[in-house]
Amino acid sequence: MANDNHTSYRRIGFAVFSGAIAIVLSLIYLGGIRGRGDEILVETHYDKPVSGLSVGSVVNFRGVKVGEVREISFVGSKYDVTGADNSRIYILMALNGRALGFEDMTQGESGAVVASLVKKFNLRATVTTSGITGLSRIELNYHRPEQLTEHRPVSWTPRHAFIPPQESLLDNISDAATKVLNQINQMDLSSAWSNVAASVESLARTASAAQLMFEALQNDIDRLLDDLSSTAGNIKEMASELKRNPSLIIRDRKPARLEETE
């Protein structure tokens, strides 16, 4: 009876041990697959606030979901940096390698492909707000050179493939509006209004002087118009007379009297 109990315990122990080994091997296998195409780790940073972005947020490539945000932190907590770089926002993304066509690639190989896309086609990462929900996502997309926004170069060496940030259209509009408001605040509106008032007053004086000059010349203009009217009448009368008697062109109006002959 005792031997049967020992045999049962051995079988149970062997089954538990075998199950644990199977689980460990499965995790190692799945981890190996992930390391060769199923998952690509890439990172970016952002200088502006990333409100609405969280771990698990969607990462799209040209509008198609290809991954999710894996980690959000500050650059200072991930790398040995100083100054303003400490407050830069660090974003780690996990991309689906198979969805991107990176099957059977190691992390190093896929990272090299990402780097070539960044260099040749200006691949950039943009934090975008999703409508009125307030939730944000990351959009990966290609950009024309004239569309690129400037960003400070990194002072650290990224551990993963690095995709530079690109400001969204909303960020650009907000920055432009802020600059305009700052310029308005810095303007001396009182001086500007004084200059406008002075210009209007100067124009009024010029108009008044022009009116006085016109009034002074009005009599001369009237006489000139009368002379032109009289001249036109004379020319019209002469034309009518020439029409009736064209010979006036080559002789006087009254021909000279012929002398009498004997």
Element (H, E) at 208: helix 189-216
Q: 71 - beta bridge partners?
A: 92
Q: What is the pLDDT of residue 130?
A: 72
Identity of residue 67: G
CA–CA–CA angle 105, 107, 108 (5° rounding): 95
| CB atoms closer than 10 angstroms to residue 145 | 6
Identify which of 92, 79, 160 has the alpha carbon closest to the alpha carbon of residue 125: 92
- pLDDT tens digit string along 145-199? 998 988 788 899 999 999 999 987 655 554 444 555 566 566 666 666 777 778 8
- The whole-number average pLDDT for the span 201-215 is 77
Asked whether the beta carbons of 138 and 58 are under 8 A apart, the reply is yes
Q: What is the pTM of this model?
A: 0.55
Distance CA 61, CA 50 (A): 19
Distance CA 67, CA 61 (A): 9
- pLDDT tens digit string along 223-260? 777 777 778 777 877 777 777 777 666 655 555 565 65
Q: Exposed, middle or buried by CB within 10 Å (0-12, 13-18, 19+), for 122?
A: middle
Distance CA 140, CA 166 (A): 9
Q: Is the pLDDT of residue 39 over 50?
A: yes
| Phi–psi pair at 223, nearest 5 degrees | -65, -40
